[in-house]
Amino acid sequence: MSRGSAPGGGDLMMSEPIRLETPLNEDLCRRLSVGDRVLLNGVVYTGRDAAHRRLCEAAGRGEPLPFPIEGAVIFYAGPAPARPGSITGSIGPTTSCRMDSFAPQLMALGLKGMIGKGKRSAEVVAAMKRYKAVYFGAIGGIAALTARCIRESSVIAYEDLGPEAIFRLVVFELPLVVINDTRGRDLYDEALKAYALT
């Protein structure tokens, strides 16, 4: 983790970008604060609601998961098919609340980061505080540009789900913003208060 100034300082979203490497750990997550801008590097896994359901069902049966969950980051996305010569097609965040019923169980197993768009439920925010995990917001509407951050892409599980299968991605400087941190803070709520007309 590196940046020009200490995490959590300054106004909302006015900090220098933090370069993070996956997998994450509790110490790194604790040092992040809402509004921190992040450039993420390393391995992330995609997964939407169908894949999450299967992951949680497998965990409930005591079966091994298809990737190391400890310290993992899941990107709520389903990549479009890659054109010839491309690593991946367009890839953008899906609405995160669709995964809210599954996220606490995966955090209990060691998941440390989630990437998506939109607010999370109170239960998920509480689970992030309990298990010291973080939620990152990805930029919506620029899926073709986001694809440029992908250096490797391969399906590792649930191939029958098509674009909703679990992909293993290697990302380089994927731009994100911390929406929820390990202290239970919420960027959406704080921004509304900070910029509300009085």
What CA–CA distance (Å, rounded) separates 50 from 44?
Answer: 18
**Cα(136)–Cα(142) distance, integer angstroms:** 16
Closest Cα to residue 119, out of 100, 145, 103? 100
Nearest to 181 by CA among 2, 4, 1, 8: 8
- In 68-162, where do the E strands start and end? 73-75, 113-116, 134-138, 150-157
CA atoms of 59 and 167, how far apart (whole Å): 19
> How is residue 61 written in tokens?
């049966």
Tokens (6 digits) for 32: 């992040």
Write down the catalytic residue from 48, 52, 119, 120: 52
CA gap 5, 7 in Å, rounded: 7
**Annotation marks residue 52 as catalytic:** yes
> Is 180 within 8 Å of 125 (Cβ atoms)?
yes
Residues belonging to the active site: 52
